[in-house]
Structure 1
Amino acid sequence: MLQLQYFNDEYDSDRNMRQSIVLKARVNDIEQAENAIFELTESLGTFFIQEDVYFNVPNGNLKLRIMHPNATLNAALGERGTITKKRRAFTMNDARIYLDDVDHVGQFIDIAVTLTSSEPDACIARAKEIRDHLKIDEDAIVPAAYLDMMMENLSFDDDPPSRKSTKSGSETESDDSVLNSREC
């Protein structure tokens, strides 16, 4: 079953919030994934490190992507956890593909197809087309956010001692990590 997530994730050139359909999957062979993405995008990608801090909110996830330390949201809401990842970004006209190496969680490929309000079904089809081109198996797709995987000790690394949980005993209920999901 393929679950696609809808996110308000970036601003366009007119400062309008852009929505994307996101597909995330485990990667077992990072070199093979890089080669397949290069074949598709003809790009070596852009490498950067991101730190995402998740905050306690009643529904969904509120995430701050850190470039500079900021204590305001932490003081107001309380921090759920932090994810640090090395990310390599590849861009196409209608999509972004990321190769992520997430501390204590594993390696993933993340496909984000820009959602056009008039054609959401076409965007879903495009995400599937990219998934098929990159030969991503259905069982590799993960519907959870990286923080949720880390908190539930769902590490896909070969090194089990590296798995850590930041979930306290009082946080036993399941978090709603999918803002809006649609099965395809």
Structure 2
Amino acid sequence: MLRNVEIKAKVRNLDDIVSRAKKLSKSEGTWIKQDDVFFRVPQGRLKLRTFEDRTAELIFYDRPEGDGPKLSEYEKYTFPDGSKITSILTHALGVKGYVKKDRQLFMVGQTRVHIDHVEDLGNFMELEVST
């Protein structure tokens, strides 16, 4: 399995965080719209992330609950069109929940800086480093 370390935090001052990310990355970042469907599974988490161009990534991951940095182990597979696999997994496993977000991605060295606006939840930042 692949592994990364990630830390997430609620963002109170979005403009300040975006400004800092732009400075550190020396870029404007990349905008990504993501629709995640989480499926019911006995262990870990299984989600299908669909993008605007209809491509999708099926991602299984396992990480501890709680605050602070977390080691996450994951596997993922990309589909050229996610509509059929969404239907299959929905019928086979059932849906646990949905998360829709607009993500601004910055790269700072080996660190992925995600600044997310999550529908109905607000703004968040995630730092992610592959191990």
TM-score above 0.5: yes
How does the TM-score come out when normalised to structure 2?
0.71
Match of 1:72 among 88, 93, 107: 88
- The answer to whether 1:102 aligns with 2:86 is no
Q: Which has the higher helix share?
A: 1
Structure 2 unmatched ranges of 5 or more: 55-82
Q: Residue 71 of structure 1 aligns to a residue in which SS?
A: helix
Structure 1 unmatched ranges of 5 or more: 1-16, 116-184
**Aligned residue in 2 for 1:167:** none
Q: Which has the higher strand share?
A: 2
Cα drift, residue 73 of structure 1? 1.0
- What RMSD over aligned residues (CA atoms) do the two structures have, in Å? 1.3
**Aligned residue in 2 for 1:40:** 24
Cα drift, residue 60 of structure 1? 2.0
Displaced runs of 4 or more, over 2 A: 67-70
Structure 1 residues 14-29: aligned runs within 5 Å: 18-29=2-13
**2:50 is aligned with what amino acid?**
I
- The answer to whether 1:57 aligns with 2:41 is yes
Cα drift, residue 92 of structure 1? 2.8
Higher relative contact order, structure no. (Cα contacts within 8 Å, ≥ 6 residues apart): 2
**1:34 is aligned with what amino acid?**
V
**Aligned residue in 2 for 1:142:** none
Q: Deviations over 1:142-169 (max 9, x none)?
A: xxxxxxxxxxxxxxxxxxxxxxxxxxxx
- The answer to whether 1:112 aligns with 2:112 is no
Cα drift, residue 66 of structure 1? 1.3
**Aligned residue in 2 for 1:182:** none
Q: How many residues align?
A: 99
Cα drift, residue 71 of structure 1? 0.8
For 2:92 and 2:46, the matched residues in 1 are separated by 12
How does the TM-score come out when normalised to structure 1?
0.51
For 1:85 and 1:37, the matched residues in 2 are separated by 18
Q: Deviations over 1:9-51 (max 9, x none)?
A: xxxxxxxx64211110010111000111112111110001100
